Structure 1
Amino acid sequence: MLNEVINLQFTTVKDPLPDFIYQSLRSFSQGANTYRPQPSELIEKLSFIYKLPKEMIYLTAGADEAIQMFIHAYGEHTFAFTPTYVVYSDAKEFGKMFTEVYSIKENEFLISTAKINDASLIFLANPNNPSGFTSKEKVLDLVRNNSQAKVVIDEAYGDFANLSVINCVKDFPQMAVLGSFSKGYAMAGNRIGYIIANPEVISTVKNKAQWSNVSYLSVGAAIAALDHEEYFRDMRKSIVERRERFITFLKNNRFSFLPAKINAVVLRFRDENEGTKFYNFLCANNIISSYGNGNSNIGLNKSFVRIAIGNKSQMQILENVISKFGRKAD
C-alpha cells in the first residue's frame, strides 16, 4: 500500500502554476485596494482574442457563478444532458424545475438536438464532464431548434478540444458560451471565468451577480496566462498525452471506459458491486477517485468511476496499482 495519498477525484491540474504567474501580479496586488467591477484589462484581451465586441463579454467567479446567473435569470424550466456537471442541478435548489435528459447510449454520449418544448434554459457541457463530446454541427442544431430557450454551451474544458462555438454566438441571440481558466490554465482556485453572449443577454444575467464579482488578482493571473499561451498549450498537450496513454493501458487490460476529451477518464463496470469493489481497491491503495456521481456529477450510478489525469509520476503509480486489481470491467 502507498504511503502518500494521490487525489484524482477532481479534474484540477495536478502540477502547480509556474512562477511567472505570481511574478506578474505586483500591479494587480497594488490595485486591489479598491473595488474593480468588470476589470477592462481582461475584457479587452478576451475581446481581441475572440474578435468580439466588449459588450458581449462578462467576467465571472468561475463557470459556476455563470451557471447560477443563468438559472436565476432564465431557469424556470432547466434541462441538462446527463451524465454531466452537478451545478446545473442547482436549479432545483433555487426553486426551478430541472429535467435530466439521459444521453449515454452504450458507451457514447449522444444528445438529441430536437426542440425541447418546455425548456426555458438548456445546458450542454462541451466537452462534457464526466465524458463525451458533441460536434460543432450538432451543437448549432440544438441552438437552432430551440429558439424558445436560452441555450448555454459550457466550454469550461474547451481548451482540451477543438469544439468551441464562441465565434457563432453573434449569430444566435438565445445562445451563450461559458469559458473558464480553471482547467485549461490550471487556475481552479482563482475562480475566474467569463460569459460570451449577446448584449441583451449580458444585460439580464449581470443583475444576478454581485456588483464587483471577480478578484482583481485573479484577473491579473488570467492575463498573465494568456500572455504565456504557449506554456499552457504545451501543458494541455502533455495532459492529453497522459490521458491517451492511460486509455491505451485500460484497453490493454480489458477495462471498459467512456470516450474522453477532458482531463479525466470514466471507467464503466458491469454492475455497481464491481464498481464499488474497484473504488474501494483504489482507496485501499491511497488513490482517491470519483465514485458514481461523487461531488461533481449527476446521472452516474456506482458502476462508474471517474479518474482525473494526474502528473506523470501519479499516473505511473495509478497504472501499477490498477494492474493488481483482480477483476476487470465489462
Structure 2
Amino acid sequence: MVRGVIHIINPYDPGKFPEDISRRYGIPEAEVISLSSNENPFPPPDSVRKVYEQAYSKINLYPHPYYHDLKERISDYIGVDEELIAVGNGASELLKMMCEVNLEAFDPVTIPIPGYTLYAILAMLMDASIRFVEFPKYKIDGDEVVKNDGKLIFLCSPNNPTGNLVPEKEIRKILKETEGTVVVDEAYVEFSERSHLHLLKKYENLMLVRSFSKFFSLAGLRVGYAVGNSEIIEAIEKVRLPFNISYISAIVAKACLDSLDYFKSMRDKIIRERKRVERELSKFNDLEVYPSDSNFILVKINREENFETKFQESFERKGIILRNVTGLLGLEGIHFRITIGREDQNNKLLEVMEELFN
C-alpha cells in the first residue's frame, strides 16, 4: 500500500524529552533538565512575550500567505534581497523542500558524515541515490567531496553533532568544482558568527538554510528560512504548503529580529558557559571533548561498550537528559551530545560527571 522506500526508512530519532523521564522515574516534569535538543535555555525577552500575547486575538485568522513582512525583516537582518528568501515551518521543512524541488529519482546526493541524520531521510523520500562520505570529526576535504559529487551536497556549519565549522576554503572549493547545488545548514551559525552569506554573490549553486529555533529561542514555534539561488527560492515558494507558518509564529519571529541586542547577550552567556564546561569536562581522563563553535559539545567516552547504558541512566535518574548519538554513522565508540544550559543546569551536569569519573 505505501511506497517501498517507506519500509526501509528509519524514523527520525529526536531523543528523549522531559515527559519521558518524568514517566519513567517519577521526577516532576518541570524539574527535568533537558540538555539534549540544543534548545536555547533562555526564553525570549518580555517585549517578544507581549507580541505573543497580543497575537492571541488573531489566531482565528490565516496569516498573509506570502509572509512579506517577515521576509523583509529577515532581509534587513542578513543583508540579502527579499526575493532570495523563502520561509518555512522550521529549517527542517526548508531542507525537505530543497530535496523536493531539486531531486528526481536516482539523482545522487552527497552527505558527509558524521552529520544530521535528517538529510538522508529526506533524500531517500525522493528515491535519491545517497553517497555518504566519512570525515573523522567532520574535517571536510573539499576535493574528496567533489570526487563523490552529487546533484545535492549537504554541509552543516557548525556541524551537528560535532560542533565544528567547515572551513570557507573547502566550501569554496566544492562550490567551484561541483555542478550540483550545495546546501549549507547554518542552523547554529549565530553562535559562531562565521556565516557564508557573502559567498552568495559569487556562487549561484549555494543555498543556506537557517533557523529561529536556536539563537532566537523559538524551537516551539517552528520558523526557518532559506537564502540563495532565485530559481530554487521561486520553486520552494511553488511547492510549500499554503500558510505553512502560523500567524503567531510569523509575528513573534519578527519581534525577535527587533530584539537582537538581547539575543546577542544571551548568546554570549551561552558561549562563556560552553567554554567553562569544555574546560571542566577536559579534566576527566575518560572523556574526549570535541572543540565546538556552537551551543553544544560532543564528547566521546573511552570506556567499554556496556558503560553507555550506565552513563545515560546515571544522568536520567538525576533528571538530566543528554543526547545519545552512539552508533551514528561516522562516529566510533560511545558518544553523547550535550546542550549548553544555564549555569545552574551545567553545574548539575558536572556534578554527575564527577560522581561517574572520579
Q: Distance in 2 between matches of 1:61 and 1:214?
A: 5
The reply to whether residue 258 of structure 1 matches residue 290 of structure 2 is yes
* Pairwise CA distance, 1:109: 2.4
Q: Is the 8 A contact 1:160 1:184 kept in 2?
A: yes
Q: 1:14 to 1:38 in 2, by over 3 A?
A: same
Q: Distance in 2 between matches of 1:24 and 1:283?
A: 36
The reply to whether residue 62 of structure 1 matches residue 95 of structure 2 is no
Q: Is the 8 A contact 2:110 2:149 kept in 1?
A: no
* Pairwise CA distance, 1:48: 2.2
Cα displacement string for residues 224-259 of structure 1 (whole angstroms, at most 9, x for unaligned residues): 111110000010110111111000001122321211
Q: 1:169 to 1:31 in 2, by over 3 A?
A: farther
Pairing of 1:47-86 with structure 2 (within 5 A) = 47-75=75-103, 76-86=107-117
The equivalent residue for 2:172 is: 140
Q: Distance in 2 between matches of 1:118 and 1:282?
A: 42
Residue from 92, 98, 110 that aligns with 2:139: 110
The reply to whether residue 15 of structure 1 matches residue 48 of structure 2 is no
* Pairwise CA distance, 1:122: 0.6
TM-score for the superposition, normalised by structure 2: 0.83
Residue from 23, 40, 50 that aligns with 2:68: 40
Q: Distance in 1 between matches of 2:113 and 2:344?
A: 32
Q: Distance in 2 between matches of 1:21 and 1:80?
A: 37
Partner SS for 2:160: coil
Residue from 126, 144, 164 that aligns with 2:157: 126
Give the letter for the 1:12 counterpart.
E
Pairing of 1:246-285 with structure 2 (within 5 A) = 246-254=277-285, 255-270=287-302, 271-285=304-318
The equivalent residue for 1:98 is: 130
Q: Distance in 2 between matches of 1:314 and 1:26?
A: 28
* Pairwise CA distance, 1:97: 1.9
* Pairwise CA distance, 1:94: 3.5
Cα displacement string for residues 86-129 of structure 1 (whole angstroms, at most 9, x for unaligned residues): 2101212342222222211xxx4211212145401011110011
Q: Is the 8 A contact 2:44 2:217 kept in 1?
A: yes
Partner SS for 1:194: strand
Partner SS for 1:325: helix
Identify which range, 170-179 or 8-17, moves more after superposition.
8-17
Residue from 203, 214, 224 that aligns with 1:183: 214
* Pairwise CA distance, 1:302: 5.4
Cα displacement string for residues 241-297 of structure 1 (whole angstroms, at most 9, x for unaligned residues): 111100000112232121111111111123533444322322333321111259xx6
Give the letter for the 1:109 counterpart.
Y
Partner SS for 1:14: coil
Q: 1:312 to 1:81 in 2, by over 3 A?
A: same
RMSD: 2.2
Cα displacement string for residues 204-241 of structure 1 (whole angstroms, at most 9, x for unaligned residues): 23333113221221111111111110000010110111
* Pairwise CA distance, 1:322: 0.6
Q: Distance in 1 between matches of 2:220 and 2:333?
A: 28
The equivalent residue for 1:238 is: 269
* Pairwise CA distance, 1:26: 6.1
Give the letter for the 1:121 counterpart.
L
Partner SS for 1:267: strand
The reply to whether residue 307 of structure 1 matches residue 338 of structure 2 is yes
Cα displacement string for residues 184-204 of structure 1 (whole angstroms, at most 9, x for unaligned residues): 111111110111012111122
Q: Is the 8 A contact 1:135 1:163 kept in 2?
A: no
Identify which range, 228-237 or 254-263, moves more after superposition.
254-263
Give the letter for the 2:288 counterpart.
S
Q: Distance in 2 between matches of 1:167 and 1:144?
A: 15
Structure 1, unmatched stretches of 5+, are none
Pairing of 1:290-329 with structure 2 (within 5 A) = 290-292=323-325, 299-300=330-331, 303-326=334-357
Q: Is the 8 A contact 2:135 2:330 kept in 1?
A: no
Q: Is the 8 A contact 1:67 1:88 kept in 2?
A: yes
Q: Distance in 2 between matches of 1:6 and 1:305?
A: 15
* Pairwise CA distance, 1:28: 4.7
Structure 2, unmatched stretches of 5+, are 1-24
Percent same amino acid at aligned positions?
28
Q: Distance in 2 between matches of 1:30 and 1:39?
A: 19
Partner SS for 1:52: coil
The equivalent residue for 1:156 is: 187
Q: Distance in 2 between matches of 1:298 and 1:150?
A: 23
Q: Is the 8 A contact 1:273 1:303 kept in 2?
A: no
